[in-house]
Structure 1
């Protein structure tokens, strides 16, 4: 099942999108918003799925062409957005480039921060940047959305609470990060609004590519029309999504609509490219002694997408341009 939110007020208007991303149908008579659907998932998801099946079979009235430009992120805002760093080789690489060793605990205990969630960017919405000197970067990731998750849930049980998956552009302001982390209190100014793919999909849409609570497909990133990277999201993922959800719920309940991110997708096979500029710059430092690739500048365009083995887009495309704020 594929769900999206048309831009409408603060929380969007729920629609159902066909498997091929060509057609859509209103679902607001079942649930006004995606958050409403998640709040009563067991009751409402069978109704949504029945209409989804009818849409794919051309047996539903009121169909209209699906337009990602009319979409907000599937959850235009969320009660909670927590981003992990499940690809630990990415963390190790970044630390190595600045001459820092990595604690062994990073391989057994996930890193996670709580991000801005009161307003997400739409999948085709510009990244408004106040100052190019802040070092704007994209981070291509995968994320899950949960229903209500009980505190202290086990990783085995956590997988049952994963209801939807999305792609993410977790925008980072790299040159603001060092001074924030030096204070010992985590990210804030360096992590502005993230953007999510036009549609969120249930795990069954990924068929055999959803295994072990991971998506086993390349995540494709283009910068200004050129491929920047396409690492496989299922390779070198140290912590799967059930482990990330359980980590987030160790000491608290997670409310329905909680979004948990994977962190920047990264493979040890460097021929697959990178999902953020910072990683490429770190590789340049190690290979050449200095970074060569600049961070994002005004007018730069980034796109993030995932295709199945037949070349069909699964989540739709995140495509954004960096613009000057104000």
Structure 2
């Protein structure tokens, strides 16, 4: 299933279920209003949301409406933690606060995309297989870093169960294509791969993880020189060109008037 959180004036947004083709959505009211509620009681709540998703995909929900990514906040705006497993084997920990998919940035920064794995409860010292069992949802995130400090972390509109990823997901591993537009010009696509079970197990090596914690698998720095007034569009897509988690669109604040 595909889930999103619509902006409603609250800190966490309102949970919606999104159709497989990303055209329709339906509020999850009556089942859960926030994604954290789902993570806290996954075994009971998730099957109800799956039933709702099936009905939505078959056009059987009378109160479905057109899905608008521009109305989304991050799927889980206030996670219990955010840590990125870097390619060099290190782990970078930051606050688990995720900006919405279209939130402007105040200054140019370095874009470091990551596959973000949202976990259920996971015991300390769990191996990668146990971590995959605890994996609940995946999304796409970007750390914006300036002078080696993360100044913002932005999340894509959709959080998706692995079974929704089709051929892009096999043996606990995501294979996708990172597509970027810089000021409207398409950059060379990059094939990426990520194993979120390994990242979750690394984070759980010394301590248990709580439902709602997020582990990122770094996908490499995006080598694009950004300047004030620029725009950047990022998307993780299948080989066939289908968006997996919805796009991130960033506008960098224009230079100040002289």
When normalised by structure 1's length, the TM-score is 0.74
* Post-superposition offset of 1:28: 2.6
Name the structure 1 match of 2:210.
Answer: 255
2:81 is aligned with 1:126? no
Runs (5+) with no aligned partner, structure 2 = none
Q: Distance in 2 between matches of 1:193 and 1:324?
A: 18
User: Within the alignment, does 1:168 sit opposite 2:123 as a pair?
Assistant: no
How far the C-alpha of 1:324 sits from its partner, in A, is 5.8
Instruction: Tell me the secondary structure at the aligned position of residue 171 of structure 1.
Output: strand
Question: Does the residue aligned with 1:252 lie in a helix, a strand or coil?
Answer: coil
Cα shift at 1:223: 1.4
SS of the residue corresponding to residue 186 of structure 2 reads strand
1:46 Cα deviation (Å)?
A: 0.4
Partner of 2:28: 27
Larger radius of gyration: 1
Q: Deviations over 1:74-125 (max 9, x none)?
A: 011111111111xx3xxxxxxxxxxxxxxxxx4xxx21111122x3211011
Separation in structure 1 between the aligned mates of residue 229 and residue 172 of structure 2, nearest angstrom:
37
Give, in whole Å, the separation in 2 of the partners of 1:301 and 1:28.
35
Q: Structure 2: how far apart are the matches of 1:205 and 1:229?
A: 26
- Report deviation, 1:325: 10
Task: Return the match for 2:191 from 216, 227, 232.
Answer: 232
CA distance in 2, matches of 1:148, 1:141: 21
Q: Hey, which of these two has a bigger chunk of helix by percent? A: 1
- The yes-or-no answer on 1:210 pairing with 2:169 is yes
Q: Take 2:145 and 2:95, find their aligned partners in 1: how far apart are those partners?
A: 12
Deviation at residue 69 of structure 1 after TM alignment: 1.0
Partner of 1:276: 222
Task: Name the count of aligned residue pairs.
Answer: 255
1:14 shift after superposition: 0.3
Measured in 1, the distance between the counterparts of 2:234 and 2:42 equals: 28
Contact 2:235/2:248 (<8 A) preserved: yes
Please show how residues 195-206 of structure 1 align to structure 2 within 5 Å. Answer: 195-206=154-165
What are structure 1's unaligned runs of at least 5 residues?
A: 89-105, 178-189, 267-274, 278-292
Structure 1 residue aligned with 2:52: 51
1:142-173 deviation per Cα after TM superposition (whole angstroms, max 9, x unaligned):
11111111111111211111111111121111
SS at match of 1:159: helix
Aligned CA distance change for structure 1 residues 200 and 325 (closer, same or farther; 3 Å)? farther
